[in-house]
Structure 1
């Protein structure tokens, strides 16, 4: 099927054709870089859900083609990951993999090499599910994809690194804000000029990556119904507390021993107040985790039954 007349009228669609970009989305990444300078000093990048390759093209032209010597080019590592194969791009290593599987994270790390100094400085993801037109459903599916991309980033990002990913932004972003701030000191939404005004598409721009103390990176697939069990298998108390929250915003993952602190299906004000006090007074919880949960507890307390 050919492009619609709406596409043909779009200035960025026409520019993409003229300048040799595989999709108009190339301009979105360039506009994000214009606003946040995410490419500054970056040599190692992972492009998740990369096909058809427009973002990898941008990375190639901005990071690889600008190198003046072969030695400089050898220091640039751009890894594009997708289930689909795509045509080669200069300076880009392609991996066919599923971002909901740990083997994909391991394959990326293998290409970068061992040691923190060899991890990615930037992870980007422009992936999206098939859009239904039902905003609530599209937001939910996109959020699941975002969490999967985020979990890959926890494996491959170096401390202080950046993460950029597409999100369909609804009216309530409290949960998403808290999920991102679990791993990044700075987080904001951005809608590039090249994103159509009628679209609910935005991008999360997350900077200054850190792992909460005691957290062991693991691939989080929100579609699974055994998230809590998977978190326990790491042997990390931090994972047991954080992973259900990262996957679903589920405060039942915040436990005291083996018992949930909050019955999220029907919490009382007393339940939430007890959970809040228990977390804030527990030295095992990272301060970042306490800070991000504070707003959630306040909101839940306001909405809870007496």
Structure 2
């Protein structure tokens, strides 16, 4: 313990074969209180607290009965939904393999695959009232390109929500610094009664991620 009574930060030594970026990532993980809390609470990732904090502010899960989780791996958000709304139907999709979750239907496939939307819809007994997306494109190291790739996924998720959500439903998605692009923001405002941006406390200060919360889906008429 330090003189202040706090555990001192853990340092990760430089070793052969470990890049500097991976060393910094491991060091950050070891010293992250949300990572430690996730382990203690049985959540698969610290991302669970982002959803919990967003739900506390926007009551996202208060009426959720049928939920689509885009970019489900490793399953932290779905765990939160199961805990808060144990009777809700949940279907998720991810390119990455996701360990099974009780009561959750999981597809390992690309959301951009033409067959993905239909499979997600078919797995629920009715239209979803919550579509949530924590998807982000694999980075290539070029900020503008990475932004465009990720926002392309957000736009695809938004259109999926607009085409499938039940009236009054909610769309939640991770976006990047600067918030939702103007064109997409206009689309959301057209179809939802409330569109807001938020950065939950569990989101690392150095991270460029924000979340867009669109509530009160107006329907497709």
When normalised by structure 2's length, the TM-score is: 0.82
User: Structure 2 vs 1, CA of residues 42 and 172 (structure 1 numbering), >3 Å: closer, same or farther?
Assistant: closer
The 1-side partners of 2:151 and 2:217 are apart by 19
The 1-side partners of 2:112 and 2:197 are apart by 24
The 2-side partners of 1:98 and 1:42 are apart by 25
2:64 pairs with 1:42: yes
1:249 is matched with none
Q: Which residue of 175, 182, 204 maps to 2:190?
A: 182
1:84 is matched with 96
2:208 pairs with 1:200: yes
The 2-side partners of 1:140 and 1:158 are apart by 29
Q: How does 1:213-228 map to 2 (within 5 A)?
A: 213=221
Q: Which residue of 194, 200, 218 maps to 1:210?
A: 218
What SS does the aligned partner of 1:205 have?
Answer: strand
The 2-side partners of 1:136 and 1:35 are apart by 31
Relative contact order (C-alpha < 8 Å, sep 6+): which is higher?
2
When normalised by structure 1's length, the TM-score is: 0.60
Q: How does 1:37-116 map to 2 (within 5 A)?
A: 37-64=59-86, 73=87, 76-113=88-125
What SS does the aligned partner of 1:17 have?
Answer: helix
Which blocks of at least 5 consecutive residues in structure 2 are unaligned? 1-21
Which blocks of at least 5 consecutive residues in structure 1 are unaligned? 65-72, 214-306
Q: How does 1:236-255 map to 2 (within 5 A)?
A: none
Structure 1 vs Structure 2 CA RMSD: 2.0
The 1-side partners of 2:114 and 2:168 are apart by 22
User: Structure 2 vs 1, CA of residues 201 and 144 (structure 1 numbering), >3 Å: closer, same or farther?
Assistant: same
Once the two structures are TM-superposed, the CA of residue 51 in structure 1 deviates from its matched residue by 1.0
2:16 pairs with 1:16: no
Contact 1:60–1:89 at 8 Å: present in 2 too? Answer: no
Q: Which has the higher helix share?
A: 1
- Name whichever of 148-157 and 161-170 sits farther off: 148-157
Once the two structures are TM-superposed, the CA of residue 143 in structure 1 deviates from its matched residue by 0.5
The 2-side partners of 1:60 and 1:89 are apart by 9
Q: Which residue of 183, 199, 205 maps to 1:191?
A: 199
The 1-side partners of 2:110 and 2:180 are apart by 29
